[in-house]
A = this chain, B = another copy of it.
Amino acid sequence: MAKPALKLVDDATDLESERLDLVFSALSDPVRRAILEQLDGKDLLVSEIAEPFDISLQAVSKHIQVLVRAGLVTQQRSGRISRCRLDAGPIFGAALWLNRYSKYWQGQFDTLALYLDELARRPDGQDTGGE
């Protein structure tokens, strides 16, 4: 009856399930994933975010709105500019849901643990670029 201690893990509740709907749906678009990667470590304006993409600024603005609705990005408007900041909180909930299947990875699980360790140890989040 009472929810488990880690309520994020239990997606039986409508609220958490709807949040997962929004988060996974937001993550299902490569443009939005790229936006999140851009925001990893630094806040950016809408126009700065849009710069690398070949689509219109309006399209990027709509993508950002989707990320905002999912709780993955917050926007702080000051004057005519709108600074966008990553909020990784909801990603944690998604990761928890995924990790209920970690038992299937097994061998690769060590790889993940190692990778997490590596990431945690690194000052910035940059990948090595291999070798």
Contact = CB atoms under 8 A, between A and B. Distances in A.
Interface of A: 1-6, 9-12, 17-18, 20-21, 24-25, 27-30, 33, 36-37, 40, 86, 88-89, 91-92, 94-105, 108-109, 111-112, 115-116, 119-120, 125, 127-131
A24 B91 CA distance: 12
Contacts of A102: 95, 116, 119-120
A120 B96 CA distance: 13
Nearest to A21: B28
Contacts of A86: 101, 104
A91 to B, nearest CB: 5
A92 B108 contact: yes
B127 A112 contact: no
B33 A2 contact: no
A40 to B, nearest CB: 7
B130 A4 contact: yes
B127 A10 contact: yes
24 contacts: A1-B130, A3-B130, A4-B127, A5-B128, A10-B128, A12-B129, A20-B27, A20-B28, A21-B28, A24-B28, A40-B100, A86-B101, A86-B104, A88-B105, A91-B101, A92-B105, A95-B95, A95-B98, A95-B99, A95-B102, A96-B112, A102-B119, A103-B125, A109-B120
